Amino acid sequence: MEINEVHVSEPGLVVVDVAAADDATAFTFHAVLASLWAATSVERTFRPAGQPGVRLRCYLDIRQGPASDRRPPGPDLP
């Protein structure tokens, strides 16, 4: 897979390639990333021919900080 310049066109945009032993591990790692930053969804992994394990790719926007700190847009309520 190629990384397109659009994917990292601004500071704070990150492309993450994950290599894991199995799907469950890869998806768990992605879930942790998604709990910390805005991340693209991932529906499947892929298996490169002749290589062990699985791979997945996701894109993060770390400019937004931890997901727990993000609030939906709207008026600030106490």
pLDDT (tens place) for every residue of the chain, 78 residues total? 565 555 556 788 888 899 999 999 999 999 999 998 888 888 899 998 898 999 999 988 888 766 555 555 555 555
* 3-state SS assignment for residue 78: coil
Confidence at residue 1, expressed as pLDDT on a 0 to 100 scale: 56
Question: Residue ranges of the domains in the chain?
Answer: 5-63
Tokens for 6, please give them.
Answer: 């659009």
Question: Hey, what are 67's tokens?
Answer: 């997901």
pLDDT given for residue 54 in this prediction: 95
Region class of 6: left (phi > 0), else alpha (psi between -120 and 50), else beta:
alpha
Would you say the C-alpha torsion 60, 63, 69, 70 has a positive or negative sign? negative
